[in-house]
Amino acid sequence: MKNRTIFAAAFVLLGLLVILAPTVLFPVCESEMKMACFFTKKAEIGVGLVIAALGVIYFFLKNKDIRLGISIAELLNAGLVLALPAKLTGLCKMSDMACRVKTYPALIVLSVLLAVSAAADIFLLARSGNEK
Amino acid sequence: MSLKRTKNTIKDIQRHAFLNACLLATVVILSVMLFSVTVISVSLKKGMGNMRNRLGADIMLVPKGEREKAENMLLEGSRSNFYFDGAVYEKVQSIDGISDSTSQCFLKSLSADCCSSEVQIVFFDPETDFVVGPWIETEYKQKLSGDAVIVGSDIVSEDGRIKLFGQEYAIASQMARTGTALDSSVYFSTDAKSELLKNAEEKGSFLTEEQKKGDILSSIFINVDGSHTAEQIIDSAHKTIGDIFDVVYPKKLHESLSGSLGKITGVVNVISLSLGILLVAILLIINSIIMKGRKSEIALLRVLGHRKKDLIRKLLSEIGLISLAGALGGSFLGALIVIPFGRYIGKSLDMPYLGPGIASVLLQILLIVGLVILIVFLSSVFFIIHTTNIEPYLALRKEE
């Protein structure tokens, strides 16, 4: 129960931060022209929503196997959080632009934190499953 | 330490979970702080060292009234447009006492096709240059022709070409990072100037009357030979070309910037030192509480026949494991924050900032892990020895 609450809270919080990072906390470049980082922002909002929603579902589930599956999905989502600005949708090409200076580092940090917490949960759930 | 012993140590740590978690948290904060402070100050110093190399000329002549712009350009790499007539350079070259001289011409481009913001275009003369050259990472053996460019480290290009004013240019080489906005400049040979200006005009970029003339330059970099002083050269220049220029002393600029870096690192050092002392004090308090709480346990173990030496080793290995985990976790957290945000830190401090490479990060993590383990060891060893030295009879009696 304790672990479940902690990890669910972590997933929801990180999901919300993934939404807030490119929009409010470390916003991408402001421009009338729609640049690459604008689309990355939109995509990250979607991914962040999925991460947070999975966190909420995780909280209400008692079945360990399903929770394990959700954690694996969160781990893959962590990869997606990073892959969007790095490869898929990209960022502005000049490295002194706001999206590269602020948003990208914030997303790297969030992605690593999400990956670490998902991996920790996978480890704990797999271990407790084996002990049964 | 064998695996079984490590498992036992972990179990022992879990038995006093709350206090050990406090100890772990303190160690993590200490390591995050140590790691961030060292990485930031090393990167700022590296950026500054790079800056000194870049400001490689004794004096720099710029058009009258443009000194401030030129200084900002050197220090922060802000983009500027100011011009001399092209003929000035030849006159300056004839002055006695100059060992090296070269000229550059700046053109502020309104958004290049490559990039989402404006880039600074710099024309330099590869024959006489001594300012740009030291920054070029890879050799560019072929003569920099009209359709090849050197780009700053921040210009991203997937196919080795860059598009400016509708024209594609091959990238001959990329410069090393300077940590300033000069990293987003594009360097052309002087020969390409007239064609590029023509293209810019055709593409609808606004050119000033001066820029339209074509035969222009923005600054002249001069190194003075050993037998003359900078003042003598400036005097002769006044006589030769008249009172049309201001002088910037790049090396002096560096000194003033080093001064402000000194102040920043001074403040950071004072803050981190006081925070460090506070954290060590907290460590001492936690260790004393932990050992006080375990007095009877230690006494019982001694009654049961454990040797003092074994008990000290057991307690030290617990402390060692906690501090190793804390130091590694703390350094990782510090790296996670400081390394990606390096450019942001440099930008907000308005200082050249060159982040560390992987090797130096690993070295720093190793050093910090060692240092943190040493600090935790020193802060706990007294309490451990004291507790194991108490006579079991006294220790158990006081607990009653």
pLDDT tens column, B169-178: 888 877 777 6
- Exposed, middle or buried by CB within 10 Å (0-12, 13-18, 19+), for B198? middle
* Greater pLDDT, A21 or B9: A21
ipTM: 0.82
* pLDDT tens readout for residues B19-56: 889 999 999 999 999 999 999 888 888 888 777 766 66
Residue ranges per domain, chain B?
3-51+256-399, 59-248
* Predicted pLDDT of residue B358: 87
pLDDT score recorded for residue B301: 87
Separation of alpha carbons A45 and B138, rounded Å:
41
Mean pLDDT computed over A53-77? 94
Q: What is the mean pLDDT of residues B384-398?
A: 81
pLDDT tens digits, one per residue of B237-274: 888 888 888 888 877 777 777 888 888 888 888 998 99
- Residue with tokens 């402000």, as numbered in its chain: B260
CB-CB neighbors (< 8 A) of B151 in chain A: none
- Average pLDDT of the segment spanning B220-230: 85
Share of chain B above pLDDT 70, in %: 89
Q: Higher model confidence: residue B379 or residue B155?
A: B379
pLDDT bin (cut points 50, 70, 90) of residue A9 is very high
Q: Which residues contact B238 (CB under 8 A, 6 or more apart)?
A: none
Spatial separation of the C-alpha atoms in residues A103 and B134, rounded to whole Å: 32
Please state, rounded to an integer, the average pLDDT across all residues of chain B: 82
Q: Least CA distance to A101: which residue of chain B?
A: B344
Task: Encode B58-81 in three state secondary structure.
Answer: CEEEEECCCHHHHHHHHHHCCCCC
**Mean pLDDT across A97-109:** 90
pLDDT higher at B125 or B137:
B125
Identify the closest residue of chain A to B118 by CA–CA distance. Answer: A94
pLDDT for the residue numbered A46: 96
> Which range, B146-160, B185-199, B316-330, has the best average confidence (pLDDT)?
B316-330
Q: Closest to A101 (Cβ–Cβ): which among B116, B183, B343?
A: B343
Best mutation target, B109, B118, B344, to test chain A (most A CBs within 10 A): B344
Please name the residue of chain B whose CA is at the shortest distance from the CA of residue A37.
Answer: B116
pLDDT at B160 over 50: yes
Whole-model pTM: value is 0.75
Euclidean distance between CA atoms B6 and A38, whole angstroms: 50
Please give the tally of structural domains in chain A. 1
Task: Tell me whether A25 touches chain B (CB under 8 Å).
Answer: no
Q: Enter the tokens of residue A49.
A: 């929503």
Domain around A61: 2-131
Give the pLDDT score at B114: 47
Distance, C-alpha A38 to centroid of its chain: 18
Q: How buried is residue B384: exposed, middle or buried, by Cβ count under 10 Å (0-12/13-18/19+)? A: buried
* Alpha carbon distance B333, B331 (integer Å): 5
Q: Which residues of B touch A78 (CB under 8 A)?
A: none
Beta carbons within 10 angstroms of residue A24's beta carbon = 8
What's the distance, CA B206 to chain centroid?
A: 36
Model pLDDT, residue B179: 64
Most confidently modeled range among A72-86, B134-148, B246-260: A72-86
Does residue A112 have a pLDDT over 50?
yes
pLDDT (0 to 100) of residue A132: 46
Q: What digits encode the pLDDT tens for the residues B279-291?
A: 999 999 999 998 8
Is residue B398 over pLDDT 50? yes
Higher pLDDT, A53 or B165: A53
Segment A98-103 shows an average pLDDT of: 88
Whether B116 sits inside 8 A of A35 (CB atoms) is: yes
Instruction: Please tell me the predicted confidence (pLDDT) of residue A55.
Output: 96
Report the pLDDT value the prediction gives residue B116, as an integer from 0 to 100: 45
The reported pLDDT for the residue numbered B140 is: 57
Which range (B150-164, B298-312, B338-352, B357-371) has the least confidence?
A: B150-164
Q: Is the confidence at residue B299, as pLDDT, over 90?
A: no
